[in-house]
Structure 1
Amino acid sequence: MTRNPVIPYLIIGIAGILLVIILSSVGITQMNKEAGGGEEELASPEEIYEQNCASCHGGNLEGNSAPALDKVGSSLSEEEIADIIQNGKGAGMPAGLVTGEAQQLLSEWLAEHK
């Protein structure tokens, strides 16, 4: 009885293909997790402000190279604040720095400062 020399190579080939498929799926899953995976947690309004606004408006809303926002809610409504965030104002305030839900959270938070 002679052994078929092709069978060991066939088994190794199938095992190699399965290994590539498994490692690819693990890599894709990890890549999606690192990239946010479609479900990203929205930052707090304070974090959004710190990342996008604090460099000009100051870390404590006190104003810096841009107006103070510590009492912005007493002079502007939430909708007016959202409009300024979305469309900018004058030459100093660029449009669209914060968009979507982050913009809504930020404008609600700023409107509370009276």
Structure 2
Amino acid sequence: MKRATGGLAAVLIGSMLLTACGGQSGESNDAPPGTTSIEASQEVRTLLQNNCMSCHGPDLQGRVGPSLQTIGSLLSREELYTVIADGTRAMPGFKDRLEEQEMEALADWLADQKEAE
């Protein structure tokens, strides 16, 4: 019975990750579309809404994925670009979905998101 329960839990968690991450609708389950306190260019806001907020939350506070609100304090612009393009174990890569210029715009903006000094 434990084996069946563990397998079921793994399938449910995997399903949640697949359906939550990388959504293209621009909508979030936490807030109506376009409702966010993020200050960014329209291009970056659209990229964030269409590709990031479904996992990282409407204000990038973290949800299924970690908070990105101060990610620039943890990762360099180059590291952020690599994560966006190639993904990680839990995050899908976007090099097949986004243009290089779009990934660069996201990496540049995220690199500026640092802890207040």
Q: Shorter-chain-normalised TM-score: which range?
A: 0.5 to 0.7
Bigger proportion of residues as helix: 1
1:1-41 CA-to-partner distances (Å, cap 9, x unmatched) read xxxxxxxxxxxxxxxxxxxxxxxxxxxxxxxxxxxxxxxxx
**Larger radius of gyration between Structure 1 and Structure 2:** 1
Count residues with an aligned counterpart.
71
Partner of 1:99: 99
Q: CA deviation at 1:98?
A: 3.1
Q: CA deviation at 1:79?
A: 0.5
Question: TM-score of the superposition, structure 1-length normalised?
Answer: 0.59
Distance (Å, rounded) in 2 between the aligned partners of 1:93 and 1:59 = 17
When the two chains are superposed, the root-mean-square deviation of aligned CA atoms in Å is: 1.2
Q: Is the 8 A contact 1:52 1:98 kept in 2?
A: no
Could you tell me the percent identity over the aligned residues?
A: 35
Partner of 1:6: none
What is the 5 A alignment of 1:1-114?
A: 44-90=43-89, 92-96=90-94, 97-114=97-114
- Structure 2, unaligned runs of 5 or more: 1-41
Question: TM-score of the superposition, structure 2-length normalised?
Answer: 0.58
- Structure 1, unaligned runs of 5 or more: 1-42
